[in-house]
Structure formats: structure tokens, C-alpha cells
Structure 1
Amino acid sequence: MNPVGTQYTGGNFTISGTTNLPAGQEINYMLQVSDIGPGSPELRPPSYTGTIAVIVGNEGINSWSAEVDTTKFKTDTGLQSDAVAGNYSLIIGPFCKDIFHLVIVDNSTSYNETFKSDSSLNSNDKTDSSTQTKQSPLPVFIIIFSMGLAFLFRR
């Protein structure tokens, strides 16, 4: 497989490689968060799957290529979702036993990363702190709530 490098949420990127499989052979692929564990399908991060056909090449070395759209990942329940930032594993099958790794990072930048205090700005140019976007506590609440439910149902 050709190197993919770091990718960004909200964007597209290409995965590609060479193979000795015959032209026209279908290859399945799946891109999922690497450190995924067991859990409810509703709580697992979205993944991306597809099927591509091998393209004829030179001297028996054929190739394959697919476009990945990070806005069209799907949850285990079939709902379309954006990719989440994290470490991903690309599984290509059924003929390849190797797992390839890549990173998808969040494309949005926080207020603190983009707004730098500058002595040349006067106080009227700075954004009021009451209008800044703040991180929601919802993900933390979901994790704590899930752990509580797991504890209750263990008995």
C-alpha cells in the first residue's frame, strides 16, 4: 500500500497500492478506529467500507485505488457520520493479511489555537470570552453513564 500520511476530518484522500491479483478482481476494504474495543454498536466510532476492482498494470503488477470521504463514514447501525479524529487501521481483504495504519486529525481548530493575543490589537478587536465556543461535557457524561449502567447490570 502506498503511504497515506496524516489526513483531516471533513476531507477526502486516496488509498492505493499494487497487487499481483488479476485485473477485475474485487477487493474489500475497511477503515476503522484502531483501538476499538467491544461495546454497543450505538457507541462505537463510525467506520468506512468499500469495494474496488483491481486495475490492469504492467508486467503482472496491477494496482488498485479508492477515494475515502471522511464525511461519509457509517456507524454500526448504518447511520452516516463524519469520521472522528484518531488512529485508524485499514484492512484490505480478503487476500491481504497486513493491517495498515494512518491518522485522521480534527480539521477544526479551537479558539485558543487560532486567536493569539497581539499587543498591536486594541481591546475592541478582541473577541468577548462569553461568545467563545466551549467544549461540551456530553462525551464525558456518556462515558460515565455507560460505566454506571455496566456496573448495574453486572449484578
Structure 2
Amino acid sequence: MFDTMTFTKLLGGFAGTFLIFLLGKWVAEEVYMVGGHGEHEQAYVIAVPESGEGGDAPVEEGPAFEEVYANADPAAGEGVFRNCRSCHSVEPGENMTGPTLFGVVGRAVDAVEGYAYSGALEEHADVWSPENLNAFLEDPRGFAPGTKMTYSGLRSVEDRANIIAWLDSLDG
């Protein structure tokens, strides 16, 4: 069915197609890039205004944390705690990568014995009030730049309120 000449034609067709794609890539790099190989700067830049002015729709805020926290479900907060379980314990005096969270609501920031805090938290809060915990859990590095906590944060205000209510219920 296939003889040597047919196989050679097929191989030549694939090789020719590959060379055409390589040539197209080279032409595209020359057109859209400045400086050739090694330097990859854009040949043109589209200016984008940084301000939110213009036809942008207003960003709708969700419900206030205080309203959500008043109706929080501690049982749902226990389920949300699975995100925290790898670094934190809820047993008194049991520190892991992060400090124990037993009694954290209302406790002074950096008050757990035997845990080496980074010092970044002291600059932003004195006590772990529900509001401070909410801000910290939303964006830990945004709330306290330099904190040792590497978690990116909980985006849902309901999840934050539920977990804070659950943590508050642990110490009675």
C-alpha cells in the first residue's frame, strides 16, 4: 500500500508545513516584539486609564458584616474551619504552624504563649474583635502586611461571619 515514494512525499509535506509555521512565528515576533530574541518588550502599548471614571457600573456592596454576624450559623462555621485545620488547632495551648484559635474572639492579638508572632499584627489591632477578625480573614496580608499567615483569605462575608461565630462559641 505504501511504497517508499509515498512515504517520502508524506514526510516532506509534514516537514514543509512545520517550516511554514516556524516562518510565521518568526514573522509574528518581528512584527509584534521589539529587540528580537532575549528582549521581549511590546512594540505597542494600549493606554488604559487607571481611574474608575467612565462608563463603569458602580460596585454593589454586599450586606454589612454586623448584619451577617448577627445571623451567623456556628454549625456552618465549623464546616468552613476545614480551610484552617491544616495550620490551626482549636485545642487550648496546642499551637501548630499557626497559633491555637481556642478563645481567639476577644483575646489580645499575639497573646498565645509559646507562639512566635511576626509583630505585624500588633501594628493593626489590639484585640481580636469580630470586626478585626473579619478584616483579617478577608485578606490577611492586606490587613497586616508582613504577617506570617500565607492563606489568601475567605471572600464570602457569610463564611467569615459563620467561622467567627463558631470560634466564639468554643470557649463558652
TM range (shorter): under 0.3
TM-score norm. by structure 2 comes to 0.19
TM-score norm. by structure 1 comes to 0.21
- Higher RCO (C-alpha under 8 Å, 6+ residues apart): 1
Q: Indicate the structure with greater helix content.
A: 2
